[in-house]
Structure 1
């Protein structure tokens, strides 16, 4: 198993992309602290290698507490996955300062504070791996997503800077930039169309691989980045989108 004896902290790990990462980490032998606002479902709550830490990451004081509770339960931190995030749609004139501040607090500030809190524990264990979840919207944009795009572009830039600053400590920092990953929300969106089957087929055609991503696709990549097998990989933004951003659009 690739992550045996590794201790991981995953924010927003109870559902969606985070759940795909947590499930794969557990399969590979890791102990996992899941940090999020919502309670975990019974499957995770009852797992002997899972710790549930409820926290509101928009509150800056919660980040250090989350790391300390992870260390109290498992004895350290080897892997930090900054996955938790929020997204809302606002046009440029509609964005209010409080909207912007909340987006940046959760999507950009919390990852920084979590890395700061985890740093002494990773140093004590001889190094570690930070995996930030960015987005293809850190590279491109959809309408009404200015704040979200800014937060994800910030994550990409911060990841590279962290890799430069923390490499001497043996701490690698990489980001995954997922494209369309199937989730409850995405299914609700597709089902809202007049012809859900046609909408799903059109979405699949955007991807050279002919399908959208699954949470475990992100989990598979996260396992590699968390493991010692990626020991010379740092400072990278890995786009995981089934080829969607590589495909040039054709006139319809």
Structure 2
């Protein structure tokens, strides 16, 4: 079976852990050369002839621009940009400072804009260029204490549509993935910190019609499709990947 991303060069921000690592792994398996762009180095075990690491503080416009340029030079161009890196904290509007709000927007919304802007000259030169933004089901609804996070992810969804409209004529597609609950180191720590973690796990499972929680590879599989020629007529859309969670209406638990 042919590799769907053979010969493609991809940047994946935050590609060294969690959802990002799942996307990185699947892209490499499908033949892409991947540059993980983030502030901290990924595990050495992730790096090989297909995957490199480029350090960048995504709150710095200068470091973003130089990182994109460095990737294009080292890997001879750029075909795919995956805006995955993001932060999350739980604070209501009352609890949140202006600095909190600005930090969330800088990393979750401004960095993808700056990365997209820096990538555009390179993407224009490649046939089948694709941008994949990682939004969230919280860009469509919200958990308690997430006004800044939900706003940033709704912004990503709107940004995705606008980029698709503006740059489709240049052969550049732009889509977003809105994951639900995806297992990760952080989610495991969160569950284990609960007083009754076993009950939390049972209730989480019950929220998902497919009967399991998501894995980073689930998101990676969808990202491969959106980055490949198989989705050549797809642009401007947000793909929810949540095991049916947002389609299941809640009922009171006895």
Question: What TM-score do you get using the length of structure 2 for normalisation?
Answer: 0.97
Aligned twin of 2:151: 150
Point out the more displaced range, 239-248 or 59-68. 59-68
Aligned twin of 1:133: 134
CA positional deviation for 1:43: 1.3
Alignment partner of 1:215 is 2:234: no
The equivalences for 1:151-166 within 5 A come to: 151-166=152-167
Residue deviations 1:211-235 (CA, integer Å, cap 9, x gap)? 1100000000000000011000000
- In structure 2, distance between residues paired with 1:50 and 1:228: 21
Please, which runs of 5 or more residues in structure 1 have no aligned partner?
Answer: none
CA positional deviation for 1:127: 4.4
The equivalences for 1:22-101 within 5 A come to: 22-45=24-47, 47-101=48-102
Question: What TM-score do you get using the length of structure 1 for normalisation?
Answer: 0.98
- In structure 1, distance between residues paired with 2:160 and 2:4: 23
Residue deviations 1:100-122 (CA, integer Å, cap 9, x gap)? 11111110011111111111111
Aligned twin of 1:106: 107
Residue deviations 1:83-105 (CA, integer Å, cap 9, x gap)? 00011111111111111111111
Q: Secondary structure at the match of 1:86?
A: coil
RMSD of Structure 2 on Structure 1 (CA): 0.9
Q: Secondary structure at the match of 1:174?
A: strand
**Is this contact kept in 2: 1:127–1:169, CA < 8 A?**
no
**Is this contact kept in 1: 2:13–2:84, CA < 8 A?**
yes
CA positional deviation for 1:199: 1.5
Please, which runs of 5 or more residues in structure 2 have no aligned partner?
Answer: none
Q: Secondary structure at the match of 1:67?
A: helix
Q: Secondary structure at the match of 2:36?
A: strand
Aligned twin of 2:121: 120
Q: Secondary structure at the match of 1:26?
A: helix
Aligned twin of 1:177: 178
